[in-house]
Amino acid sequence: MDSIGSLGLQQREGAPSCPQEGLRCPSNSSELVPECLQQFRVTGAQLRQIQTSLLDSMEQALKGQASPAPAVRMLPTYVGSTPHGTEKGDFVVLELGATGASLRVLWVTLMGIEGHKMEPRSQEFMIPQEVMLGPGQQLFDFAARCLSEFLDALPVGNQGLQLGFSFSFPCHQTGLDKSTLISWTKGFRCSGVEGQDVVQLLRDAIQRQGTYSIDVVAVVNDTVGTMMGCEPGVGPCEVGLVVDTGTNACYMEEARHVAVLDEDRGRVCISVEWGSFSDDGALGPVLTIFDRTLDHESLNLGAQRFEKMIGGLYLGELVRLVLAHLARCGVLFGGYTSPALLRQGGILLEHVAEMEDPSAGAARVHAILQDLGLNPRASDAEFVQHVCAAVCTRAAQLCAAALAAVLSRLQHSREQQTLQIAVATGGRVFERHPRFLSILQETVMLLAPECDVSFIPSVDGGGQGVAMVTAVAARLAAHRCLLEETLAPFRLTREQLAAVQAQMREAMAKGLQGEASSLRMLPTYVRATPDGSERGDFLALDLGGTNFRVLLVRVATGGVQITSQIYSIPECVAQGSGQQLFDHIVDCIVDFQEKQGLSGQSLPLGFTFSFPCTQLGLDQGILLNWTKGFNASDCEGQDVVCLLREAIGRRQAVELNVVAIVNDTVGTMMSCGYEDPHCEVGLIVGTGTNACYMEELRNVASVAGDSGHMCINMEWGAFGDDGSLSMLSTRFDASVDQASINTGKQRFEKMISGMYLGEIVRHTLLHLTSLGVLFRGQQTQHLQTRDIFKTKFLSEIESDSLALRQVRAILEDLGLSLTSDDALMVLEVCQAVSQRAAQLCGAGVAAVVEKIRENRGLEELTVSVGVDGTLYKLHPHFSSLVAATVRELAPRCVVTFLQSEDGSGKGAALVTAVACRLAQMTCV
Ligand code: 0WK
Ligand code: BGC
Ligand code: BGC
Per-residue pLDDT of 663-675, as tens digits, reads 999 999 999 998 8
pLDDT band with cut points at 50, 70 and 90 for residue 712? very high
Q: Does the active-site annotation cover 583?
A: no
| pLDDT tens-place string over residues 426-474 | 999 998 887 899 999 999 999 999 999 999 988 766 788 888 888 888 8
Structure confidence by residue, pLDDT tens digits, 775-803: 888 888 889 999 999 999 999 999 877 66
Distance (Å, rounded) from C-alpha 826 to C-alpha 311?
A: 45
Q: Read out DSSP for 281-339?
A: HHHGGG--HHHHHHHHHSSSTTSSTTGGGTSHHHHHHHHHHHHHHHHHTTSSGGG---H
628 close to ligand 3 (CB < 6 Angstrom): yes
Comparing 799 with 131, the larger pLDDT belongs to 131
Amino acid residing at 391 = V
Ligand nearest to the CA of residue 872, numbered in listed order:
1
The full set of domain ranges for the chain reads 31-70+277-457, 78-220+460-480, 723-859+877-892
List b or e across 594-619, with b for residues whose CB sees 16 or more CB atoms inside 10 angstroms. Answer: eebebeeeebbbbbbbbbbbbbeebb
Beta strand 121-126 pairing with 161-167: unpaired
Sign of the CA dihedral running 125, 140, 241, 466: negative
Contact indicator for 103, 94 with CB cutoff of 8 Å: yes
Contact 610 CB / ligand 3 (< 6 Å): yes
Our answer to whether residue 610 is catalytic in this structure is yes
Q: What is the pLDDT of residue 78?
A: 84
Cα distances (angstroms) measured from residue 519 to each of 586, 754, 788 = 32, 20, 31
The DSSP secondary-structure symbol of 762 reads H
Other C-beta atoms within 10 Å of 336: how many?
Answer: 14
Residue 115 binned pLDDT confidence (cut-offs 50, 70, 90)? low
Q: Whose CA is nearest to atom 11 of ligand 3?
A: 688
Pick from 583, 599, 691, 595: which is nearest to 645 by CA?
A: 583
Confirm if 57 and 277 have CB atoms less than 8 A apart.
yes
Mean pLDDT rounded to a whole number for the chain:
90
Reported as a pLDDT band with limits 50, 70 and 90, residue 5 is very low
Q: Which residues pair with 180 in a beta bridge?
A: 172, 197
**What confidence score (pLDDT) does residue 85 get?**
65
Rounded to whole angstroms, the Cα distance separating 342 from 328 reads: 10
Any residues with Cβ below 6 Å from ligand 1, and which? 542, 544-546, 608, 610, 664, 667, 684, 686-687, 754, 868-870, 903-905
Question: What is d(CA 837, CA 454) in angstroms, rounded to the nearest whole number?
Answer: 56
Q: How far apart are CA 73 and CA 593, in angstroms?
A: 69
Q: Is the pLDDT of residue 99 over 70?
A: yes
Q: Which ligand is nearest to the CA of 907?
A: 1
Tell me the β-bridge partners of 250.
Answer: 240, 271
Which range, of 279-283, 722-726, 863-867, 892-896, averages the lowest pLDDT? 279-283
What's the 832 CA to ligand 3 centre distance in angstroms?
Answer: 24
Tell me which residue of 254, 307, 318 sits closest to 278, measured CA to CA: 307
Query: Quick one: which of 455, 316, 446 has its CA closest to 392?
Result: 316
Distance of CA 537 from the midpoint of ligand 2 (Å):
79
**Residue (of 295, 241, 344) closest to 3 by Cα position:** 344
Print burial letters for 688-701: b (CB count within 10 Å at least 16), e (below 16): bbbbbbbbbbebbe
pLDDT tens-digit readout, 809-830: 888 888 888 887 888 899 999 9
Cα 905 to ligand 1 centroid, rounded to whole Å: 10
220: helix, strand or coil: strand
Please tell me the residue having the least CA distance from ligand 2 atom 1: 169
How much helix, strand and coil, in percent to the nearest 5, is found in the chain? 45, 20, 35
Taking the centre of ligand 1 as the mean of its atom positions, its distance from the CA of residue 790, in whole angstroms, is 17
Side-chain half-sphere of 152: how many Cα atoms within 13 Å?
A: 9
The protein residue with its alpha carbon nearest to ligand 2, atom 9, reads 169
Which ligand does the CA of 520 lie closest to?
A: 3
- Strand 178-181 relative to strand 522-523: parallel, antiparallel, unpaired? unpaired
Q: Cα of 237 to ligand 3 centre, how many Å? A: 59
The answer to whether 912 touches 607, Cβ cutoff 8 Å, is no
Q: Which of these is catalytic: 664, 737, 868, 902?
A: 664
* Cβ–ligand 2 contact at 223 (below 6 Å): yes
Q: Using the predicted structure, report yes or no on whether residue 303 has a pLDDT greater than 90.
A: yes
CA-nearest residue for atom 9, ligand 1, is 545
φ, ψ of residue 329 in degrees (nearest 5): -90, 10
What's the rounded Cα separation, in Å, for the pair 721 and 503?
12
Contact 54, 274 (CB under 8 A): yes
Residue ranges of the alpha helices (H) in 705-744? Answer: 731-739
Q: pLDDT digits over 25-73, tens only? A: 777 777 888 889 999 999 999 999 999 999 999 999 999 887 788 889 9
| pLDDT reported for residue 923 | 66
Coil, strand, or helix at residue 142?
helix
Q: What is the pLDDT of residue 6?
A: 44
Q: Which residues contact 731 (CB under 8 A, 6 or more apart)?
A: 763, 767
Name the closest ligand to CA 610. 3
The verdict on the CB of residue 221 being under 6 Å from ligand 2 is: yes
Dihedral sign of CA atoms 586, 587, 593, 598 in order = positive
d(CA 732, CA 714): 26
Q: pLDDT band at residue 11, thresholds of 50, 70 and 90? A: very low
- How far is residue 575's CA from residue 594's CA, in Å, rounded to a whole number? 27
Which residue puts its alpha carbon closest to atom 11 of ligand 2?
Answer: 246
- The three-class DSSP label of residue 448 is coil
> Which one, of 584, 583, 641, lies nearest residue 609 by Cα?
641
- Give the helix/strand (H/E) hosting 392: helix 378-413
- Between 360 and 877, name the one with better pLDDT: 877
pLDDT digits (tens, 9 = 90+) for 501-553: 999 999 999 999 999 999 999 999 998 777 777 788 999 999 988 889 999 99
The CA-atom distances, in angstroms, between 779 and each of 369, 687, 734, 782, 816 are 69, 28, 20, 8, 9
- Say yes or no: CB of residue 95 within 6 Å of ligand 2: no
CATH second-level architecture of 78-220+460-480?
2-Layer Sandwich (3.30)
Q: How far apart are CA 228 and CA 467, in angstroms?
A: 9
Q: Which ligand approaches the C-alpha of residue 545 most closely?
A: 1
Q: Do domains 31-70+277-457 and 723-859+877-892 have the same CATH topology?
A: yes
> What's the rounded Cα separation, in Å, for the pair 790 and 260?
31
366 sits in which H/E element: helix 361-371
Q: pLDDT per residue over 731-765, tens digit each?
A: 999 999 999 999 999 999 999 999 999 999 999 99
pLDDT in tens, 384-429: 999 999 999 999 999 999 999 999 999 989 888 889 999 999 999 9
- Pocket mutation for ligand 2, best pick of 185, 223, 466 (most atoms within 8 Å of C-beta): 185
**Alpha-carbon distance 313 to 304, whole Å?**
12
How far, in Å, CA of 496 to CA of 718, rounded?
A: 19
The total of other beta-carbon atoms located within 10 Å of residue 891's CB is 11
Looking at ligand 3, which atom is closest to the CA of residue 613?
9
For residue 689, the CA-to-ligand 1 centroid distance in Å is 9
Q: Which of 110, 115, 116 is nearest to 91 (CA)?
A: 110
Residue among 874, 849, 870 at smallest CA distance from 689:
870
Atom of ligand 3 nearest to the CA of 544: 12
Whole-Å CA distances, 429 to 278, 283, 314, 437: 22, 22, 11, 9
Q: Which of 53, 179, 610, 753 is catalytic?
A: 610
Q: Note the pLDDT tens digit of each residue in 251-267.
A: 999 888 998 887 777 88
Q: Give the chain's largest Cα–Cα span.
A: 132
Give yes or no for residue 291 CB within 6 A of ligand 2.
no
pLDDT at 233: 61
Q: From CA 258, how far away is CA 267, in angstroms rounded? A: 10
Provide, rounded to the nearest whole percent, the portion of the chain with pLDDT above 90.
Answer: 65
The predicted model gives 485-512 an average pLDDT of 97
Catalytic residue among 267, 292, 428, 549: 549
Check whether 660 has a pLDDT greater than 50: yes
Choose which residue among 562, 868, 910 to substitute to test ligand 1 binding: the one with the highest number of ligand atoms within 8 A of its C-beta: 868
Q: Is the peptide bond before 285 cis (omega within 30 degrees of 0)?
A: no
Residue 263 backbone phi and psi in degrees, to 5: -120, 145
pLDDT, residue 916, reads 78
Using alpha carbons, list the distances in angstroms from residue 765 to 477, 483, 486, 790, 811. Answer: 18, 10, 10, 13, 12
∠ Cα 159 163 166 (to 5°): 165
Tally: H helices and E strands in the chain? 30, 26
Considering only CA atoms, which of 324, 281, 288, 327 is closest in space to residue 308? 288
Beta-carbon count within 10 A of 195 CB: 10
Phi and psi at 188, nearest 5°, equal: -90, 145
User: Does the pLDDT of residue 80 top 90, yes or no?
Assistant: no
pLDDT value at 918 more than 80: no
Q: Which fold has domain 31-70+277-457?
A: Hexokinase; domain 1 (3.40.367)
What CATH architecture applies to the domain 723-859+877-892?
3-Layer(aba) Sandwich (3.40)
Residue 277 pLDDT exceeds 60: yes
Specify the residue with its C-alpha closest to ligand 2, atom 2.
Answer: 169
Q: Is 170 in the pocket of ligand 2 (CB under 6 A)?
A: yes
Question: Is the pLDDT score of 120 beyond 80?
Answer: yes
Give the residue, out of 547, 628, 631, 841, with the most ligand 3 atoms within 8 A of its beta carbon, to mutate for a pocket test.
Answer: 628
* DSSP H or E run through 867: strand 861-868
Annotation says 215 is catalytic: no
742 lines ligand 3 (CB under 6 A): no
